[in-house]
């Protein structure tokens, strides 16, 4: 398995029955934000989201769906934002990782959050949420955060709870690019056949940027990508983030080709992703596929469209 230096994390917007939003005051950075943390090895994304909520707040939550991706510039980390609803547990005032946990009316959250946390909250509560965003900061801001996190690492080590190393994942990004009539797909050469554009995520650049660059270099076009789903094989620590676009069937060059979806023999996962991405992909919920035994990566099937 090829390993990617991209670090993965989760964060979750948890709402109670009254529509209030759960925020935690981080012990390390002393700011109010959505509960979240790193993804562990062989852990499904939804499980990580629920685990972090419970560990940091004591709340048990039902994870509903992903909302957006946030690439943190300068940290080689991408966080997956989920939406959830509180279903049980007991709200703890403080934990090892938090100095405060409260449910807030949405209108009150903007006054207590700052920086990236404020931006993410606005995305969470906006009807026009972006499906991905690059979070930037100055070198001085990054150095200040590293110093604060360094104290956390030292403190945890001193009390016998050293923080584990970041796990390694195999992370890639793939694009389902339709023509304007949703009859043909943009494909690239794949051995003796065709496949959807795909790239191994390197960590220094956002996956959607890497993917866009690959498509431009291979086919000479730059489709406007939206995030539509994620495929995960948790036991093997493999993830594939799926993006989609539609565009006019302009002439392609090099290895690019507009391939009929009806008869294209695509690799198995490519065909599955294509089947899920229809004309309403920009308004449909973002989906999660957890790999099942049966169809194996690399198998080829005919797309039924």
pLDDT in tens, 249-295: 999 988 899 999 887 789 889 999 999 999 999 999 999 999 854 43
- The reply to whether 22 and 148 lie within a common domain is yes
Predicted pLDDT of residue 114: 72
Domain assignment present for residue 105? The answer is yes
In the predicted structure, residue 51 carries a pLDDT above the cut 90: yes
- The reply to whether 25 and 132 lie within a common domain is yes
- The reply to whether 112 and 200 lie within a common domain is no
Predicted pLDDT of residue 116: 87
193-242: per-residue pLDDT in tens?
899 999 999 888 999 999 999 999 999 999 999 999 999 999 999 999 99
In the predicted structure, residue 300 carries a pLDDT above the cut 60: no
- The reply to whether 28 and 105 lie within a common domain is yes
Domain assignment present for residue 165? The answer is no
> Higher model confidence: residue 148 or residue 96?
96
Predicted pLDDT of residue 282: 92
Domain assignment present for residue 223? The answer is yes
- The reply to whether 154 and 174 lie within a common domain is no
* Distances 82 to 6, 123, 135, 243, 291 between C-alpha atoms, Å: 19, 12, 17, 17, 19
Predicted pLDDT of residue 264: 75
Predicted pLDDT of residue 111: 78
Closest CA to 243 of 290, 208, 291: 208
**What's the domain range around 277?**
170-302
* Distances 57 to 46, 61, 97, 191, 280 between C-alpha atoms, Å: 17, 11, 9, 50, 36
> Higher model confidence: residue 143 or residue 265?
265
Domain assignment present for residue 163? The answer is no
- The reply to whether 153 and 175 lie within a common domain is no
Q: What is the DSSP string of the chain?
A: ---B--EEEEEEEEE-TT--EEEEEETTT--EE--EEEPPTT--HHHHHHHHHHHHH-EEEEEEEEEEEEEETTTTEEEEEEEEEEEEE---S--SSEEEEEEE-HHHHTTT--HHHHHHHHHHH-SS--SEEEE---HHHHHHHHHHHHHHHHHHHHTT-PPPPPPPBEEEEEEEEEETTSSEEEEEEETTEEE--EEE--SSS-HHHHHHHHHHHHHS-----EEEEEEEEGGGTEEEEEEEEEE------TT-EEEETTT-EEEHHHHHHHHH--TTTTTSPPEEEE--SSSPTT-EEE---
Last residue of a domain, one of 125, 158, 191: 158
Predicted pLDDT of residue 192: 79
| C-alpha of 23 from chain center | 20
Domain assignment present for residue 2? The answer is no
Beta bridge pairs of residue 44: none
- The reply to whether 122 and 264 lie within a common domain is no
- The reply to whether 151 and 187 lie within a common domain is no
Last residue of a domain, one of 104, 129, 158: 158
In the predicted structure, residue 302 carries a pLDDT above the cut 50: no
Predicted pLDDT of residue 301: 34
- The reply to whether 184 and 104 lie within a common domain is no
Last residue of a domain, one of 158, 184, 202: 158
Confidence of residue 178 (pLDDT cuts 50, 70, 90): very high
Predicted pLDDT of residue 65: 93
In the predicted structure, residue 299 carries a pLDDT above the cut 60: no
Total number of domains in the chain: 2
The percentage of residues in the chain with a pLDDT greater than 90, rounded to a whole number, is 64
- Parallel, antiparallel or unpaired: strands 238-247 and 170-179: parallel
Q: What gap in Å lies between CA 185 and CA 177, rounded to an integer?
A: 6
- The reply to whether 126 and 240 lie within a common domain is no
Domain assignment present for residue 22? The answer is yes
- The reply to whether 11 and 154 lie within a common domain is yes
Q: What gap in Å lies between CA 244 and CA 270, rounded to an integer?
A: 12
Domain assignment present for residue 19? The answer is yes
Domain assignment present for residue 164? The answer is no
Closest CA to 57 of 110, 120, 11, 111: 11
In the predicted structure, residue 157 carries a pLDDT above the cut 70: no
What is the overall mean pLDDT for the chain? 87
Domain CATH for 100: 3.90.79.10
Q: Which range is most confident: 1-10, 29-38, 171-180?
A: 171-180
- The reply to whether 94 and 234 lie within a common domain is no
């Amino acid at each position: 398995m090829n390993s990617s230096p991209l670090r993965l994390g989760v964060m979750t917007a948890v709402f109670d029955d009254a529509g209030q939003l759960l925020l935690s005051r981080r012990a390390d950075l002393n700011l109010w934000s959505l509960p979240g943390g790193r993804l562990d090895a062989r852990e499904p994304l939804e499980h990580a989201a629920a685990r972090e909520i419970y560990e940091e707040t004591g709340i048990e939550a039902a994870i509903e769906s992903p909302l957006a991706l946030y690439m943190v510039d300068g940290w080689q980390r991408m966080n997956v934002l989920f939406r959830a609803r509180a279903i049980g547990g007991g709200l703890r005032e403080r934990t090892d990782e938090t100095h405060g946990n409260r449910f807030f009316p949405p209108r009150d959250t903007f006054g207590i959050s700052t920086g990236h946390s404020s931006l993410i909250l606005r995305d969470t509560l906006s009807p026009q949420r972006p499906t991905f965003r690059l979070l930037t900061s100055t070198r001085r801001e990054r150095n200040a955060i590293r110093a604060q996190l360094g104290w956390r690492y030292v403190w945890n080590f001193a009390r016998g709870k050293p923080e584990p190393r970041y796990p390694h994942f195999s992370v890639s990004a793939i694009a389902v690019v339709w023509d304007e009539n949703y009859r043909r797909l943009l494909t690239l050469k794949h051995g003796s056949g065709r496949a959807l554009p795909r790239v191994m995520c390197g960590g220094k650049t956002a996956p959607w940027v890497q993917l866009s660059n690959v498509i431009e270099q291979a086919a000479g076009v730059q489709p406007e990508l939206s995030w539509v789903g994620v495929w995960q094989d948790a036991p093997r620590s493999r993830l594939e983030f799926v993006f989609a676009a539609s565009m006019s069937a302009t002439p392609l060059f090099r290895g690019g080709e507009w391939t009929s979806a009806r008869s294209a023999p695509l690799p198995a996962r490519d065909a599955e992703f294509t089947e899920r991405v229809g004309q309403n992909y920009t308004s449909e919920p973002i989906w999660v596929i957890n790999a099942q035994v049966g169809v194996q990566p690399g198998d080829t099937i005919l797309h039924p469209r």
